[in-house]
Structure 1
Amino acid sequence: MSSFHSLPPPATFNVDDRNAAERWREWRERWKCYAVTIELSKKTPEVQVSVLLTVIGPEAHEVSSTFQLSDEDQKDQNAVLAALERYFHLSKNTAFERYHFNIRAQIDGESFDQYVTALRHIAWDCDIANITQEEILRDRIMFGISDDKVRDRLLRERNLTLERTLEICGVSEVSIAQQEEINRVLESKVITVSAKLKDPVGRMKPVTDVHRKLEETDWITDCRFCGKSHRKVKEVCPAWGKRSSMSGATN
């Protein structure tokens, strides 16, 4: 007879895993192999349930304690497993699984058989057999919208309904429109302020102390020394005083 210690048990189950439904299916398969190997069926029903709840880990054990099971079912391993199955099936993010299913493409080095097997595993969590018209519309919206940020927001929603999908997408569109309007107003103000700071030929006005004291009209165009436009102050002319012919001249 096999010993309880002859084979390491499956790792404890993480109930907070984003893909808990998929992980649960994998965990249950490992548990079945483990239970057969240690000949758990030869033990009393109470011991079978006790071993199951010990191996599954404290988090899943705590979840199982919330189930409304009869005294008889609490001592039945299959009844406890069925209750856990229902719990993780209901908590799965079906919308996310369908999105994952629809974008799953064959990857490099993956055979066709491997690809189909992978799709079958994903399809198991998609609950396609029970899909409704509202869910089809919800999924199409989520797959088809152009805003990746909104799609990410939808994928993080558990038990996403069509009504909730429409609400999130509608609010996002209004928010974007409002932000664009705010940006236009701010841009208009920036342009207005910038225009006030520019000189008559479109260049930014100098801001040194000597220049601030001058009036807007104190500009010269086509300076006879440098050929440029600038304030009527000799210090701002790049050519003043640099040629002997200009010695002693002022603007």
Structure 2
Amino acid sequence: MPFVFRQDDLPRLDLQVDRGSDFMAWQSQWESYMSLSGLFEESAAKKVQALNLCFSRETLSSVQNLGLSDTKKEDVAAIISNIKKYIDGHINESVERKNFRRRTQQPGESFDDFLVALHELVKTCNFCSDNSTRKNLRDQIIEGILDGNTVEELLQEKDLSLTRAIQIFQAQEMAKRQCASMSTGHQDSLAAVRNSPPLRRSHSAKRHPTFLKPAQDVVASHTLEVCRSKPAQRDAKPTSAGANPLSLLSTIRHIAATDPAPKITLTITSLNGSTSATVLPDSGADISAAS
């Protein structure tokens, strides 16, 4: 693949900022750039030119003052190796380890974020081996975590590894998140029920305004029509067997309020006798009577 130069694709390096783990991250980006851009197959001089464009002006000045021989100045790997030695010489191992030991989990900080911060700090501690680095990470996790109950659980395990410690802390934190989410959802449901509007009854018909009147006014102002035909006289004689029974009804003899509620007592007298019933006046329903 032919090399196509684009300066914006170059990974930038500033030795005033990019030290320790940041420099190692830049080094990984540089190697990826050389492979993907095709620069790896170009001449050594072109590689050095591209590398120089990665540096800030202050960084380039520092590299030129490293005292490299002319041969090393033409070798990208030699230049990067000497830059690393320069950075390591400016790193105080005791200070870096002290910063690592002082790092604890902050209130509100997740375990994963805390773990990432420890990984960044341990890179410049220069522990003697990878095994030593992992043990120091495990110990600092136990020392710096805020969850005392989980720490007690970890201390009960023999031969606790870094991987096992991470798994336990992550599982505990996930369980707490799920419990908090369930509790929040339950509280939201209760709040929604409390804040919901009260149910209203639907009425098929409006209440008649006469129900608000006293019983006496109701009796005085309303007339119940028992039937639409002319009422029969009290002394009228029975009609033939096929006559309409409604013709036997007579006039309403008594209408009176029986209690403070809007009710009346209806007495109907016919040739066969009389009957009484308590009814609601003007309820909207038709009144019919038959013998």
Query: Normalising by the residue count of structure 2, what TM-score does the alignment of the two structures yield?
Result: 0.39
Which is strand-richer, 1 or 2? Answer: 2
Which is helix-richer, 1 or 2? Answer: 1
CA radius of gyration, larger in:
2
